[in-house]
């Protein structure tokens, strides 16, 4: 069981089931909502239980972003598919996860370099974003 929360604790979640390795997203929307890039894992929707009130922002026709209306913590990215993305920094305690790659590198900020040797995709990469351990 994995648990997490926003900064103030008003929104909490638990995940029963496996989490995908962490993927760093460098798209413009992620950079604007976080102030840098986003590091997110994901889990099957039916394995995620959320308590508290999540505020949802429809950031594109295909996706919305979930955050705490009290403290503003970014928690979720909810797009098409069977999984809900969870911002890795909101997980409580050791996650056991590792960073597996980077997406939307064409949109990354000019003030930093990606130098960790992990796979990089100019845009989305289903091979990275849909991988879930068995």
pLDDT of 1 over the 80 cut: yes
pLDDT of residue 94: 94
Maximum CA pair distance of the chain? 38
The Cβ of residue 25 has, within 10 Å, a number of other Cβ atoms equal to 24
Structural domains in the chain plus CATH codes: 2-129 (2.170.150.70)
pLDDT digits 0-9 by tens, 27-59: 999 999 999 999 999 999 999 999 999 999 999
Q: Specify the pairing of strand 99-103 against strand 22-25.
A: parallel
Mean predicted lDDT score pLDDT of the chain: 94
pLDDT of residue 132: 56
The residues near 11 (Cβ < 8 Å, ≥ 6 apart) are 5, 50, 51, 52, 53, 54, 68, 73, 75
Q: How confident is the model at residue 128 (pLDDT cuts 50, 70, 90)?
A: confident
pTM: 0.93
For tokens 């909502």, the residue is: 33
Q: How confident is the model at residue 131 (pLDDT cuts 50, 70, 90)?
A: low
């Amino acid at each position: 069981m994995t648990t997490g929360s926003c900064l103030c604790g008003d929104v909490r979640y638990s995940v029963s089931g496996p989490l995908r390795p962490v993927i760093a997203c460098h798209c413009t929307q992620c950079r604007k909502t976080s102030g840098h890039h986003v590091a997110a894992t994901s889990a099957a929707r039916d394995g995620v239980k959320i308590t508290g009130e999540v505020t949802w922002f429809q950031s594109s026709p295909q996706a919305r972003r979930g955050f705490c209306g009290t403290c503003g913590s970014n928690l979720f990215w909810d797009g098409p598919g069977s999984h809900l993305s969870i911002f890795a920094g909101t997980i409580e305690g050791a996650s056991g996860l590792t960073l597996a790659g980077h997406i939307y590198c064409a949109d990354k900020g000019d003030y930093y370099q990606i130098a960790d040797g992990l796979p990089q995709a100019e845009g989305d990469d289903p091979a990275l974003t849909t991988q879930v351990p068995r």
